Structure 1
Amino acid sequence: MKDKLGTIPSLSSNSVYLGVLLAGVGGFLDAYTFISRDGVFANAQTGNVVLLAIRAANGEWHNALLYIPPILAFMLGVLISEVVKIPHIRHALHSYRRSILILECIVLIIVGFLPKSIPNIVVTVCISFVSSLQISTFNKLDKWAYNSTMTTGNLRTLTQAAYLAFIKHDQEEKKRFNEFFVIIFSFIIGALLGTFTTTHIGHRAIWIASGILVIALILYHKDRGYWRKPQMLK
């Protein structure tokens, strides 16, 4: 008999659907670390570099050194995301992007098991590592560069696209505006969800972020975006 089922969305690495899920995770993690780990933002390293310089300038060398581990963890994540692209490693993994999603899930699940009493630096290092993996591996939205764990660059792109779309009447830029608006909105929703769940559940709320990544992992397809049709019923 003919297939009467609907199509199943397939999330390619540059699809807006995957971007929505990853941006939600990015917002969630920022809210999670800020609330549960004394006002720390672990996704971006600009603050860590600035604070390291401030502490060092004030002669607070011990405190300055505390900002080095998350920076190194971020760099390690970037290196790993590049290493998995080496042809023979990439071939062994079948889908290196899927492998990165699995690694992210594992790290976040482990963080959820860590006791609340553990030093903040341990959690910060883990989140920085996850953030860098995600940034380095999933950095295209359709054909445009974007960031799923920070919004500064996305806001710049959104504003630029808005000008070109609504002042210059560029239809391609209108599409870019719509997609980046959705990504930023998803980041905000993720932050709201992270705030609510971390406040009421505590440090194990991070497992929700793992759950979102599991959804992305299930729906993700390594090939370029398309709509997969389910098997025809006989």
Structure 2
Amino acid sequence: MKYITNENNIVTALTLLSTFLMGFIDVYTFLNYDGLFASAQTGNMVILGAKLLEGDFWEVLIHAFSFIGFMIGAFAAQGIVERYKNRSWKRYRKYLFFQLVFLLILALIQTAVSASLIAFLLGLLAGYELTVFRKVKNTGMNNGIMTGNTKNLMNNMYLAVFHKNKEAQQTFFDLLLGISMFLLGIIAGAAVLLISPLLILWLAFSLTAVFYFLLLFRQSDISH
């Protein structure tokens, strides 16, 4: 039971980190790349279609690259999950390490590559994160797209209020926590953009590094 509880705590913490980062990065791409989303591919498809009709093929290309990157990221992440699924809680340390290295590379090259490549790489990151980190306590959650989370939030609120369903009540609070973290990420990202857009990816890397090293140091506490 201790093993299960500790693993749930790890997944919850990493999902909330990922949710914060998706909001943090989405506001960066939206404001810096003319309405581009790293994680919300529904929005990208809408803007892609509108730009296509307007004849703005450069903007079409940027949104298309983000969409393709997202698909590849989700595909690759599923393969990584399958590869490491039998490695107990330590697989989450591995998942976070991949994210850490990827964010470092992104931060280092961000001023040296085109907007289309940045869109592709951030889409790839989002596809990876949405596949790997998606659970708050016992509640499944999409860490980058809040439409479904909000729908589930209100569905469970109804069940908790009118049917006194305790499980639905817990799910409501789990989803509320996740949505709040996404909103907090947006606010924090917008504040950082006022200082410098170049800080966004470095801060995302730094936050991931903090969680990675905390997980390393907790190894002795959760190894049994």
Compute the TM-score of the two structures, normalised by the length of structure 1.
Answer: 0.77
Give 1:185 deviation, angstroms. Answer: 0.8
- Change over 3 Å in CA distance of 1:164–1:71 after alignment to 2: same
1:174 to 158, 169, 174: 169
User: Could you tell me which residue of structure 2 aligns to residue 159 of structure 1?
Assistant: 154
Question: Where does residue 192 of structure 2 map in the other structure?
Answer: 197
Instruction: State the shift of 1:144 in Å.
Output: 2.8
Distance 1:11 1:23, change over 3 A: farther
Give distance in 2, aligned partners of 1:29 and 1:35: 10
1: CA distance between counterparts of 2:7 and 2:34? Answer: 35
Tell me the alpha carbon deviations over residues 177-228 of structure 1, each in whole angstroms, 9 at most, x when there is no partner.
111111111111111111111220322322111222223333448xxxxx93
Structure 2 CA distance for partners of 1:194 and 1:58, relative to 1, 3 Å: closer
Shift of 1:25: 0.9
Secondary structure, aligned partner of 1:149: coil
1:206 and 2:186 aligned:
no
Residue of structure 2 in register with 1:228 after alignment: 221
From the superposition, tell whether residues 160 and 35 of structure 1 become closer, same or farther in structure 2 (CA, over 3 Å).
same
**Aligned equivalents of 2:36, 2:62: Cα separation in 1:** 13
More moved, 198-207 vs 51-60: 51-60
Which residue identity is paired with 1:180? L
Amino acid corresponding to residue 198 of structure 2 in structure 1: H
Shift of 1:131: 0.5
Residue pair 1:33, 1:39 contacting (<8 A) in 2 also:
yes
Counting helix residues as a fraction of each chain, which structure ranks higher? 2
List runs of 5+ in structure 2 lacking aligned partners. none
Name which of 101, 104, 112 aligns with 2:107.
112
Identity %: 22
Does 2:27 match 1:36? no
How far apart in 2 are the matches of 1:159 and 1:213? 31
What do you get for the CA RMSD once the two structures are aligned?
Answer: 3.2
Change (3 A) 1:14 1:145: farther
| Larger-gyration structure (1/2) | 1
- Equivalent of 1:23 in 4, 19, 22: 19
8 Å Cα contact 1:13/1:138 also seen in 2: no
1:132 paired to 2:124: no
Tell me how far apart the structure 2 counterparts of residues 19 and 174 of structure 1 sit (CA, whole Å): 20
Between Structure 1 and Structure 2, how many residues are aligned?
217
Which runs of 5 or more residues in structure 1 are unaligned? Answer: 1-8, 222-226
State the shift of 1:50 in Å: 2.8
Q: Contact (CA 8 Å) 2:20, 2:182: kept in 1 or not?
A: yes
TM-score where L is the length of structure 2: 0.80
Supply the distance in 2 between the matched residues of 1:66 and 1:186 (Cα, whole angstroms). 27
